[in-house]
Chain A
Amino acid sequence: MSWVFPTSLMRTGTVLDWMDVNEQLAAYASVIDGGISEHNLGSTVGSDLYTTGKLAQDVAVRAGSIGVALSPFTTASLIQVPMSEQWTAVDGSEIDIRGPAGMVVITYSFQVVFGLFDTDTPGLQFAIELDGSARNGTLLGSGDMSNDLYNQDDVDAVQIPTESGASIKHDLSPHCVEGVFPVDSGAHTARLLVRNPYVVRSGTKPEMYIGSLEGIHFHLWA
């Protein structure tokens, strides 16, 4: 309340001026009744009371994307996959997630490139890693070398009933790995993992690469 009441105090011997008392009472009443005037609001207070055209900081979705564009015909620039039976993180796939507890939807959309027209390529598997552990529910690719070829017109004749997906071993193939994970508040890290279940231990080792890649995440909370 910026209006001072009373504006002056009576002292012993003061002669009462009723007009003065009434004016002070009127000012007091207007303040008490919420009569807001230029004395109550600063010139910039409006922008503090409401916002226009900007999203609040507590929006319920945070989206993030990391991406790299690589031509499959320039193998020197591609992301090479090591010949290893162990999970290895794909370079450039790291996603940083920070915020309150909730859920995270993670999608990796990427290109797999083998040495073009190399028929001796082993299968690959992919999975999403969150906070240091591979999430097996996101596993893509069986690594089963016998289950790669199928004829859309005559499936039963060639497909091996392993109840697993086809392995990833074609020269050029696009893939997506997706998962939904509950997360606590704080910082989290997701990466795309790759491994090579059938390691070629001798002879010419195939060239295996990841090409263009995009990692997308949606962080949701209540």
Chain B
Amino acid sequence: MWEPEFLADGETPTASKINTIMSGARDYVNDLDRYALRRGAVNRIISPHIIPAGTPAVVQHSATSAHTYSDAVFLASLRYNAIGTNGGAASGVTNTGDRAVIGHNSSGGAVAADATISLNSGTGYTVDSDGSSASMVKAIYCMFNCAVINVVDPSENVLVMMCLQYLNGPTWYTLPHTERWVDVKTRRLSPTTSTERVGVDVPIRTLITEEDTIERGSGNTIEGVRAMVSLEDSTATNSVLHLGSFRLSVVPLLCSVTASRS
């Protein structure tokens, strides 16, 4: 730090002393660059984070063993009601709603975990439109695939529905545009051979944004994601659905986002 050579009170003001002071000031100004930061010295390459810490999350069932969903066990939770119906049966919970979580522990298969992912240890991510929340997550990309092995019901055409839901507060909200349907009977070589394996992949991709939460009337914190299954079974006979491998991947994204739902 520069300390001017102050003149003492009563000191004789000679040209030499004044010149010394002014020379000091001149030299200091001229030497400002000596200790200055090099241009760009405080810059550093920052790789932008695309995902928050602790993600992505994956749950899967890759064994060859089938998991089974029968009307007799799942009751109404396997009887599709209407597009976008919220809620449904979760593992360890009484069967309710019109759809059941895939990999439910009542399915009798060797499924290690059902197709449910808890986000950020249950705290979730807030997908607000301007990213001003602490999580700064604006969208959650979900990828889901599941194999339909067959539906055993020789008397009718049973249709299989799968969809994704998100958790906000106590409610699992259905993302209605993710509802996907598979017919089984017309895929069989023999429509009367109800046990024939058809093996159909159901792929679902979605980007959960604040637009979805507005459309569903929920809060905009996404605490979890899960995959559901149901049957359209008009005569309510005891259909039995067999599913195979599934995989649900969820990737929260630090990004800017646009979305439009209708």
Tell me whether A60 and B48 are in contact (CB under 8 A). Answer: yes
How many chain A residues have a CB neighbour from B under 8 Å? 56
Once A25-B6, A63-B141, A214-B206 are accepted as A-B contacts, the answer to whether A151 and B196 lie under 8 Å apart by CB is: yes
Tell me whether A216 and B2 are in contact (CB under 8 A). Answer: no
- Per the bound structure, the CA–CA distance linking A59 and B185 in Å amounts to 48
Partner of A16, one of B13, B29, B50, B254: B13
Asked if B202 CB lies within 8 Å of chain A CBs, one says: yes
Tell me whether A69 and B6 are in contact (CB under 8 A). Answer: no
Chain A binding surface SS class:
mixed
Asked if A39 CB lies within 8 Å of chain B CBs, one says: no
Partner of A33, one of B2, B130, B255, B262: B2
Tell which of A165-173, A179-187, A198-206 binds the partner: A165-173
Asked if A212 CB lies within 8 Å of chain B CBs, one says: yes
Tell which of B94-102, B104-112, B117-125, B176-184 binds the partner: B176-184
Give, as a whole number of angstroms, the nearest-CB distance from A214 to chain B: 5
Partner of A149, one of B136, B187, B205: B187
Give, as a whole number of angstroms, the nearest-CB distance from A181 to chain B: 17
Which residues from chain A contact B260 at a C-beta distance below 8 Å?
65-67
Tell me whether B138 and A55 are in contact (CB under 8 A). Answer: yes
How many chain B residues have a CB neighbour from A under 8 Å? 68
- Shortest Cβ distance from B195 into A: residue: A153
- Per the bound structure, the CA–CA distance linking A65 and B9 in Å amounts to 77
Tell me whether A214 and B138 are in contact (CB under 8 A). Answer: no
Which residues from chain B contact A50 at a C-beta distance below 8 Å?
none
Tell me whether B4 and A211 are in contact (CB under 8 A). Answer: no
Tell me whether B178 and A214 are in contact (CB under 8 A). Answer: yes
Once A32-B2, A173-B200 are accepted as A-B contacts, the answer to whether A53 and B179 lie under 8 Å apart by CB is: no
Which residues from chain A contact B21 at a C-beta distance below 8 Å?
25
Partner of A212, one of B82, B179, B197: B179
Q: Per-residue CB proximity of B128-163 to A under 8 Å, as 1/0?
A: 001111101011010000000100000001010010
Which residues from chain A contact B56 at a C-beta distance below 8 Å?
none
Tell me whether A28 and B25 are in contact (CB under 8 A). Answer: yes
Which residues from chain B contact A25 at a C-beta distance below 8 Å?
4, 6, 21, 25
Q: Per-residue CB proximity of B171-211 to A under 8 Å, as 1/0?
A: 00000111111110111010000001111101111110101
Asked if B11 CB lies within 8 Å of chain A CBs, one says: yes
Which residues from chain A contact B189 at a C-beta distance below 8 Å?
149, 151, 158
The winner among A21, A59, A149, A176 for most chain B CB atoms within 10 A is A59
Asked if A26 CB lies within 8 Å of chain B CBs, one says: yes
The winner among B6, B139, B181 for most chain A CB atoms within 10 A is B181
Tell me whether A109 and B187 are in contact (CB under 8 A). Answer: no
Tell me whether B253 and A63 are in contact (CB under 8 A). Answer: yes
Asked if A68 CB lies within 8 Å of chain B CBs, one says: yes
Give, as a whole number of angstroms, the nearest-CB distance from B68 to chain A: 17
12 A-B pairs besides A32-B32, A56-B48, A65-B258 with CB distance below 8 A are A18-B7, A26-B4, A26-B6, A54-B136, A59-B256, A61-B253, A63-B138, A65-B206, A65-B209, A67-B261, A109-B206, A170-B187
- Which residues of A line the B interface, CB within 8 A? 16, 18-19, 21-22, 25-26, 28-29, 32-33, 53-57, 59-72, 92, 107, 109, 111, 113, 116-117, 119, 149, 151-153, 158, 170-176, 211-214, 216, 218
The 7 closest A-B pairs by CB, nearest first: A69-B176, A174-B180, A65-B207, A69-B177, A109-B205, A152-B197, A172-B181
